[in-house]
Amino acid sequence: MKILVLMKQTFDTETKISLDANGKIDEAGVNFVVNPYCEFAVEEALRIKERLGAGEVTVLSVGPERAETSIRQCLAMGADKGVLVNTGGLEGGDEFTTAQIVAKAIEKVEYDIILAGFQAVDDGSAQVAPRVAELLGIPQVTVITKLELEDGKAIATREIDDGVEIIEVALPAIFTAQQGLAEPRYPSMKGIMQAKKKPMERYSLADLGLDAGLVGTDGAKVKIVELSLPTPRKGGKIVEGEPAEAAQKVVQLLRSEAKVI
Amino acid sequence: MVPSRPLGWYGDTYVIMWFLMLVVFAVFGKGVYDRYRLWRLGVDEQRFAGFGQGIKNVLIHGIGHKRILREGYPGLMHLFILSGFLVFALGTLAVAVQEDLHLEIYQGSFYLILTFLLDIFGLAAIVGILMAFVRRYVLKPDRLDTTPDDGVSLVLILGILVTGFILEAQRIAITADPWAAWSPVGNALAGLFAGADNGSLKGIHQLFWWTHLLLTFGFIAYLPHSKMFHILAMALNQFFLKEKPAQALAPIDFSNEELEQFGVSKVEEFTWKQLLDTDACVRCGRCQDNCPAYLSQKPLSPKALIQDLKAHLGEKGPILLAQQAAARQRGTASQVAAAGEGAGAVLEKALTGEVIQEDTLWSCTTCRSCEEQCPAFIGHVPTVVDMRRNLVMMESNFPQEAQLAFRGMENNGNPWNVGWKSRADWIEGLDVKTMAEAEEGEVVDFIYWPGCAGAFDNRYRKVATSVVKLLQKAGSKFAILGTEEKCCGDTARRLGNEYLFANLVQENVEVMNGYNVQTIVTSCPHCLNTLKNEYPQFGGNYEVIHHSEFISRLMAEGKLKVAKELGAKITYHDSCYLGRYNDIYEQPRKILQNIPGVQLVEMERHNYRGFCCGAGGGRMFLEEHLGERINLMRTEQALALEPDVIATACPFCLTMLEDGTKAKDVIDHVKTRDLAEILVDVVQ
Ligand code: SF4
Ligand code: SF4
């Protein structure tokens, strides 16, 4: 089985975001990692391959040159090959443009099933994989926590409010991973050593035959007007006193200060 | 008449004796050679520190019993037996020189003194053997496990000693020895044979002579196959000893592209020295008696660990040797395989997982207590870490929680995975410069290294802050690395993630060598040990000082003066990495003793017997699912003294013991505090 994983490289989850002089997010000194949700997808892909005893896991990422380190990280975990679509300078795209690029790149890859993180921890828009599914015209099941494959079809468990939904779809299809799908492994030394030698296909946007006007800031449907940091949270308030008395005070504060009741 | 005693009574049967002796020596030699071949299965390790040093070690620790005598009963017991053994070896040699080389030495005052010593030490050895019997079969301390070999060995030695004395007594009775007074034990026993007629006495004497001889020969032939082999193996181990094997673990050369195995996955991947260790272990159980993992009912006993490896080497080694021999004779692959045939199960047994359980390996806190107590100077910790390396780097198989720590160290240079940019936030308002800021012409005598805990852990930040205040009061000129500092890597290395460790070290060394750092003062004993003893492996050579050492030095120099009294009963908990790893026992105590009003009380387990808090070896970042909680046990040991304060000098100890007082619900009146925090409140 050929398994394709869509992976985004994101800021390390502990990064303190700051803005530069131009009001853009400052990337200086930031660690880049595999988006944790994509990591669940990679792990699930590897487990499927291990269960079946055969198959190939390809990891595809769209981003600047630095995204290669994250692809290598996935290769170190055990994926077989990488595909990097280098956006080289045309980074200002949005979910729409990224989905266009991914869909175009997928033309160069064989697949029976596609996995991705359900969202990225940076912008959290959860759109790219569903859009790709639409562009490819294949089914999608999002936010899954369990995936079972039978010949030609898949049974996925997805999280919904107050419960789970169990969905059967025909393959090929796209599945997006929620936490709980598969706890990612830690690469072994063997994995790290081999990752250096595993194949990596590289494409520029031009290689894919994409018009510069369709990608990057120009092609994006979303225009960023301004970025600002959230106002720092104020310290909490501790209400002292006997329980009954304190509860009364809390209710009062919720009304007068927090204005939530 | 020159004092001596008649020898060679049975000279006409010596031919038989010589023949037997040849056989016995052959059996002995073969036995020793077989063990030697097993050790040689291991990989190389440079342990030779010169003959002089090696012999000195054997004299101090083997003959001199330096460690063995730390414990009264077993120590004396062993001293008695060994000294008897040595004097007898000397006596036998003297007789042999006289009889076989015909050099007349066994006479005169030398004879008298020797015969006297033989009697005294023979008696001591009997006392020692009886003590051993009582201990093993009556007192039965938990740490001893008893096998038939133990009984056989004791009976053999006792038999040799007793028949020796009977022979002497009979000889005295037969010859009416004029110097019998120099053989007090034999002389006293001679009374037993008084009145017997000389003829039949001589017959019995001959019988005993042969019995004595056969027992001795039996002892020699049996030695390489029994626990008594420790006489040789332990001496060798002492010859090649490293005082603290755990202090600096062996690095791996990751630039070597040919390396395919990281860590130890098969017994033959240990070094020859680690394999020799398994034979040097005499199952005394001192290690187990002092192992926090064992004492808290974890599935780890350092003694059992070494013995399990020994048993595995014993079953697998001969098969490997047979395969090697077959391969040497240019056998075909199938012949080589045939040499291992029927042994498939043994060959396939996984070292980590089957021979040694994974939980066993993860239970170790690397506290070094086993190593410190072991009279054979066995390096348990490197052996444990070598197997952890295989689990982590080859199999990616380790307790889940460790992954968080690994990720944190990788991405943010600290095991808590706090964003690295905030590493210097703790100095806000403290008027401390970073090296980057101090570069512009400022004098910096040393860097202060708070470690990950000092930089990120809310509780320990208070300690780092106290240290900084003390340093400032004393007028020290220092800076910190700030966001350029990364985890020292101790946790990664001891959890078996050598690759991560090597990366962290490389980055730290690059930064520090770039600033030409010479001296580091640190608050974390784990950083101390790694920076001081392990960084030199990576080109990082610094003078590294723990804050307790540095502060006590400042006090001695009069740069810090205590201005207030502190009426408090304080017990100091030794950090393993400060104490056992780096011999810093005195300085922390000195700080406390120099505060008027402080009553310093010691727990039963202190100094080199100090009991781990449970957090070493990366265990700080792992859950403790099995057995009792080590930190609670240690807290209870401290609380038994009813202290006002439990003093610590390590971030992990502080966390573990403070958590202990919380769990025991005494946190309100028993404070856990670092020495620096205690001191900063009372200095001028
Ligand atoms: S280092 Fe400590 S925990 Fe580990 S085996 Fe030795 S005594 Fe036990
Ligand atoms: S390892 Fe050392 S301390 Fe432990 S039982 Fe063996 S000889 Fe004794």
Which of B290, B367, B378, B609 has most ligand 2 atoms within 8 Å of CB, for mutation?
B378
Q: Do B421 and A15 touch (CB under 8 A)?
A: yes
The finding on whether B301 has its CB within 6 A of some atom of ligand 1 is no
Q: Do A189 and B394 touch (CB under 8 A)?
A: yes
- Residues A148 and A154 sit within 8 Å (Cβ to Cβ): yes
d(CA A234, CA A236): 6
Rg of chain A (C-alpha set): 22
Q: What is the mean pLDDT of each run of 10 residues along chain B (684 residues)?
A: 79 87 96 96 93 94 93 95 93 88 86 93 96 96 94 95 92 86 90 82 90 95 95 95 95 91 96 97 96 97 97 95 86 64 82 95 97 96 97 94 94 94 93 86 90 96 96 94 96 97 97 95 97 97 97 94 92 97 96 95 96 96 95 96 96 97 94 96 89
d(CA B253, CA B538): 11
d(CA B403, CA B621): 9
Ramachandran angles phi, psi of A93, nearest 5°: -75, -175
d(CA B511, CA B486): 10
When pLDDT is averaged across residues A87-107 and rounded to a whole number, the result is 88
Q: Is B499 on the interface with A (CB under 8 A)?
A: yes
The finding on whether B304 has its CB within 6 A of some atom of ligand 1 is no
ipTM: 0.84
- Residues B50 and B57 sit within 8 Å (Cβ to Cβ): no
**Cis before B302? omega within 30:** no
Instruction: Determine how many CB atoms are found less than 10 A away from the CB of residue B147.
Output: 11
Ligand nearest to the CA of B382: 1
What is the set of domains in chain B, with CATH numbers? 11-239 (1.20.950.20), 267-394 (1.10.1060), 400-555 (1.20.1050), 562-680 (3.40.50)
Which of A15, A33, A187 lies nearest to residue B419, judging by beta carbons?
A15
Strand ordering across the sheet containing B568-572: B598-601, B568-572, B645-648, B671-674
Instruction: Identify all chain B residues contacting A192, using CB atoms and an 8 Å cutoff.
Output: 499
Greater model confidence, B547 or A242: B547
Q: Is A107 on the interface with B (CB under 8 A)?
A: no
Give the tens place of pLDDT for each residue, B518-563.
999 999 999 999 999 999 999 999 999 999 999 999 999 999 999 9
d(CA B135, CA B151): 12
Place of tokens 């990364």: B486
Query: Which two tokens mark B29?
Result: 């030699």
Kindly report the pTM of this predicted structure. Answer: 0.91
Q: Do A190 and B420 touch (CB under 8 A)?
A: no
How many pairs of residues across A and B have Cβ atoms under 8 Å apart? 39
Ramachandran angles phi, psi of A124, nearest 5°: 55, 30
Of the candidates B237, B357, B227, B382, the residue with the CA atom closest to the CA atom of residue B298: B357
d(CA B131, CA B150): 13
Residue A21, burial from CB neighbour count under 10 angstroms (0-12, 13-18, 19+): exposed
Q: Do A191 and B411 touch (CB under 8 A)?
A: no
d(CA B398, CA B76): 43
Ligand nearest to the CA of B234: 2
What is the set of domains in chain A, with CATH numbers? 2-203 (3.40.50.620), 233-261 (no CATH)
DSSP of B654-668, one letter per residue? HHHHHHHHHHTT-TT
Instruction: Identify all chain A residues contacting B420, using CB atoms and an 8 Å cutoff.
Output: 14, 31
Per the rule left: phi > 0, alpha: psi between -120 and 50, beta: everything else, B240 is alpha
d(CA A71, CA A58): 10
Instruction: Identify all chain B residues contacting A187, using CB atoms and an 8 Å cutoff.
Output: 396
Residue ranges of B 380-399 with Cβ closer than 8 A to chain A: 392-396, 398
Per the rule left: phi > 0, alpha: psi between -120 and 50, beta: everything else, A23 is left
Q: Whose CA is nearest to atom 2 of ligand 1?
A: B367
Q: Do B411 and A31 touch (CB under 8 A)?
A: yes
**Ranges assigned E (strand) in B63-149:** none
Residues 6 or more apart from B469 whose CB is under 8 A from it? B430, B680
In angstroms, the Cα distances linking B57 to A211, B234, B238 are 78, 11, 6
The finding on whether B293 has its CB within 6 A of some atom of ligand 1 is yes
Nearest CA in chain B to A77: B396
Which amino acid is it at B65? H
Ramachandran angles phi, psi of B588, nearest 5°: -60, -40
Which of A16, A29, A188 lies nearest to residue B393, judging by beta carbons?
A188
Give the tens place of pLDDT for each residue, B480-523.
999 999 999 999 999 999 999 999 999 999 999 999 999 999 99
Of the candidates B512, B578, B509, the residue with the CA atom closest to the CA atom of residue B537: B509
Query: Which two tokens mark B281?
Result: 């272990």
Q: Whose CA is nearest to atom 8 of ligand 1?
A: B291
CA of B364 to the centre of ligand 1 (A): 5
Nearest CA in chain A to B404: A186
